[in-house]
Structure 1
């Protein structure tokens, strides 16, 4: 490992120029730009930082929950509660308390919305999808303010009774820490994107105490049917370090209680048939969760024009659901732990009646799915993993009561754990990660193989729909070996995006009209027009695929009123080898270009495939000319004669 610093001017400037360079190329399982030793150092720092930051968020969440409980008159402990619904059920289940909770849920959403939309709008919604979007579309860039804004806004939302999980906020916070550190060190696109993934893994590991599962989640959640293999080692390093650093704060026990089961019962023919039925149930409800979530988001977008008002409206609906079922308020993680320890917290005296108990559990699961769709689908700040795991566990337990246990003799709690994994695998397309996470969080490693079996089946039965919209189907097709060859060649030449991009494609301000956009496309014969704000930052693009929409819109309508196409951006300092990879990813979404920006996300140009081809030819010609001049120069011939 080589530590190279450049320039003078103190330690700050020197550290900003540090580069951990590979001695003999890079390995197959870690990304270009750093040696394995370099990744050991960088991923360890990212893991420690992201883990501590996520722990800070969790403490904030506990304090916010306690404050909300005290506002409604519940004397809950200052620490230890992250689900307001549990506090309501255990300490104050009267109607006046529930009405007060409704007001708190709405007020918390208003405060959170004000924080997000005034400071960092990219922190809205479930943070995991924002991190995925930053990986695929924003060249691994997240503004350094995003982690802090996400932590505060999510703590207020969830602590105030909003139905959202800690996974989304912690994933975005960790991604922000990794991205900010890579930017501070001046590292390139390859390293920056991988650092973002490592940060996600570290933050998730500290909160879920599942280092292997969260590392797999960070690399699996980026694609619907693939894994970012090159980011796996950095993600594991960051995850393990975060787990080790934060474990003393949270204790050494598992998140969920263990369940004892005879291993031989897990692999009988009856059990396999029962798993198949559970996979069908999980796939159906998982798909319903996805449809419900995206449907709620689309509904709020159509009905409410101002983005900052949507989370408040969604919170009002969530609070209304909480009047009937207060157990859905909060993340659901704490309620789920208590349910797995003692199902009577939800079932009361119904445990002896399997049919009625199953109906109650299904109703609570649906209420949790609906509340989460309202809270987070409307733009509120929180995650979708913990609510999904809670719903999956309740559905799995209900299935076990009615079908699984009578058929196979396996305890309903086993089906609750399998339901956790298979339900969210169907909703998020992460069957490997969720299976390993459930095994780690519960300490029930004997359930890993059945969980994998059920989860992969549920993923297949549920089709391609995913709760994470920014996921891509898969990585670059492995048969595109020419792309890898070109990338390697241009990487050796040191070509940067700023040297290749077409700076002649002029952007339009968001205030420009539809008529101006059509005129620009016709006059300049450019099929893509970047749209920027008053500071030159890219907001979106108008391209040929929107021509029908442009012609149907009023000529004097501003471009900001249209559904601009989301751009995929790269930095002007990124090497062209990485840009080619991003271009290929863009082609999977029907795009033939990427937008080049500076570190402030201000527009600098556009790169298309023809620009890359021109750069290849130009680099080749320059190299050939240099060789010709060196071989034919009089000075060289004179030196050769003298020798």
Structure 2
């Protein structure tokens, strides 16, 4: 499995980079060209730290978010319905219920559809799509090399950790995420950890050699030591964040279940979500895309809520 980890590290790095390029192109096409809106980006990825709004203001944004949702929905539900959603659910289902098998077309469909969704302003992150894309390549590799069911399951985790390490530049965190996201309780797939860590390091090294070693976010060079009395506020903040993180999955799945009951073809439903995001963006453009650029501004102390 050591050689497999190396190979999937290379594949994961390549897949993550292609996904990033596609996402950048779709962002340029939909938001910057059609909507004439340049969102805040990450400086370490070549993004702009200045928001640019064209002659039509923000009024074209609902058009492109709706269009992106429609195109994405048509692609997903025509060729790979199991690729809908954020992606990690499909990986978990493949691991527990489908012997580690993810259909060959799924990573390709997910890569294209997610790039269009996020690039057109859809309020989503890269982690879920990347997890499914690179675990899908791990599954393909396992079938090509005729692996056992146990090895097949491990290969999708190895592939997932490689892709996440390349795109988020965090090899240790990516490996741990890959082996623990499978369970709702405090458990993890210990047997795959060393191989996931190896593939993550390989992918991170390859990505760094080609695009640089800078982290995703810039942190202040000098962080002041705050007064001890403020630590109580940090505890309160931690409790609030924990409650929000517990609420968000429930709200997400309840919303998804509600949309599932709407009596219209499934491929139209992402367009409805895109329209809703676009309308919200008229007053709060921070909801567009992954929001990483806005997070960098917050880290810099330049974003006022």
TM-score, with length taken from structure 2 = 0.91
In structure 2, the partner of 1:216 is: 176
In structure 2, the partner of 1:231 is: 192
SS in 1 for 2:121: coil
Distance 2:44 2:273 in 1: 23
Shift of 1:200: 0.5
Q: 1:220, 1:226 within 8 Å by CA — same for their partners in 2?
A: yes
Q: 1:70, 1:76 within 8 Å by CA — same for their partners in 2?
A: no
Shift of 1:81: 10
SS in 2 for 1:98: coil
1:273 aligns with 2:235: no
Q: Output one character per residue of 1:371-418: Cα deviation in whole Å (capped at 9) or x when no partner.
A: xxxxxxxxxxxxxxxxxxxxxxxxxxxxxxxxxxxxxxxxxxxxxxxx
SS in 1 for 2:58: helix
Q: 1:304, 1:310 within 8 Å by CA — same for their partners in 2?
A: no
Distance 1:336 1:275 in 2: 19
SS in 2 for 1:104: helix
1:70 aligns with 2:29: no
* Structure 1: 4+ residue segments shifted above 3 A: 74-77, 79-84, 259-263, 270-275
1:248 aligned to 209, 234, 238, which one?
209
Q: 2:62, 2:279 within 8 Å by CA — same for their partners in 1?
A: yes
Distance 2:251 2:96 in 1: 25
Compared CA separation, residues 250 and 337, structure 1 to 2 (3 A): farther
Q: 1:65, 1:83 within 8 Å by CA — same for their partners in 2?
A: no
Distance 2:39 2:266 in 1: 34
In structure 2, the partner of 1:158 is: 118
Q: 1:202, 1:242 within 8 Å by CA — same for their partners in 2?
A: yes
Shift of 1:113: 0.8
Q: 1:109, 1:157 within 8 Å by CA — same for their partners in 2?
A: yes
Q: Output one character per residue of 1:129-163: Cα deviation in whole Å (capped at 9) or x when no partner.
A: 21111111111000111111111100000000100
Compared CA separation, residues 262 and 100, structure 1 to 2 (3 A): closer
Tell me the number of residue pairs that the alignment of Structure 1 and Structure 2 aligns.
Answer: 301
1:311 aligns with 2:270: yes
Distance 1:76 1:319 in 2: 13
Shift of 1:302: 2.0
TM-score, with length taken from structure 1 = 0.44
Distance 1:322 1:271 in 2: 34
Q: Output one character per residue of 1:188-232: Cα deviation in whole Å (capped at 9) or x when no partner.
A: 111000000010100000010000011001011111211111110
Q: How does 1:580-595 map to 2 (within 5 A)?
A: none
Structure 2 unaligned segments of length 5 or more: list them. Answer: none
Shift of 1:83: 12
* Rg larger in structure: 1
Higher RCO structure, 1 or 2 (CA under 8 Å, sep 6+)? 2
Distance 1:279 1:71 in 2: 40
In structure 2, the partner of 1:51 is: 13
Compared CA separation, residues 132 and 312, structure 1 to 2 (3 A): same
